[in-house]
Amino acid sequence: MKRTERIGAIIRILSENPNKLYPLSYFCDLFKSAKSSISEDIQVAKQILKCIDNGLIETTAGPSGGVKLVPYISDKDAMDLLNQICEKLKDSNRILGSGFLYTSDIMFDSNITKRTGEIFARKFMDKNADYVVTIETKGIPVALMTAHMLNLPLVVVRRESKISEGSTVSINYISGSSDRIQKMSLSKRAVTPGTKAIIIDDFMRAGGSVKGIIEMLSEFEIEIVGIGVVIASIEPQKKKISDYFPLIFLDSVDENNRKIDVTPNSLLFCKNNL
């Protein structure tokens, strides 16, 4: 293979597996090329992604070193995505009554959740997390995509303990908005005590579910190193948790005038924003 072909192939392979470290020898064997050639190819590939502002190619030296593609959504692409989601959310046909909005089409959209996952991955890439954790059901796609971008396992907390989960730990918690007692459970096989987790969910009102997940994970001595939610309701202003990273704020749903007020988090990647 010629240089142009090797570079294209390297970009394809790295793109398929974000944050997966490939030893240089992998590409040396694949292309039957010298390490020096592959190193030069990787430098060009790095420049290409930089030029189109679409991901970072990182190399590390040493025996355990190699090359990986770190997804890195640009500020512009992130804001474009959030504006696009907000436009969708403003459709008055989403109003369901009691302040609820229909969001399943957005939360189950693989392209939206993939790019949303890239925002969370960029935000939490340096947290050295061992897992991405969510609670069923609507947060699963964005949490899965975040896990994929960070090359981490996804752990899904269940509402009910299922026989297929083996032995579980369950907790009861107060749902922040309804003040009802709800249950969540986690398989003991799903996590290892003493590790670190990022929590990702689709929607947060008062933060009861996320607080429940935190309590649940504390039973396993798991440290929370980041919390991301796609949509955070402004009301109630007093949340049950403090440090969280919302992408979109839901201000109000005016059922009479059929108006939905949503705004993107404009401080997305500011250093002081969480």
Helices (H), the chain: 3-16, 24-31, 35-51, 75-89, 104-107, 110-124, 140-150, 208-219
Window contacting a second copy (CB under 8 A); options: 32-40, 46-54, 58-66, 204-212: 46-54
Using the rule CB under 8 A, is 45 a contact of a second copy?
yes
Q: Give the integer Cα–Cα distance in Å for 30 and 22.
A: 12
Using the rule CB under 8 A, is 258 a contact of a second copy?
no
Structure tokens at 4: 């142009």
Binding map of a second copy across residues 122-161, x = CB under 8 A, - = no contact: --------------xxx-xx--xx-xx--x-xxxx-x---
Window contacting a second copy (CB under 8 A); options: 187-195, 231-239, 245-253, 255-263: 187-195
Window contacting a second copy (CB under 8 A); options: 47-55, 204-212, 250-258, 266-274: 47-55
Q: For 81-106, b where at least 16 C-beta lie within 10 A, e where not — what string?
A: bbeebbeebeeeebbeeeeebebeeb
Q: Give the integer Cα–Cα distance in Å for 52 and 54.
A: 5
Which residues are near a second copy by CB under 8 A?
1, 3-5, 7-9, 11-13, 15-17, 20, 30, 44-45, 47-49, 51-52, 54-55, 93, 96, 98, 100-105, 108-111, 113-114, 136-138, 140-141, 144-145, 147-148, 151, 153-156, 158, 163-166, 187, 189-190
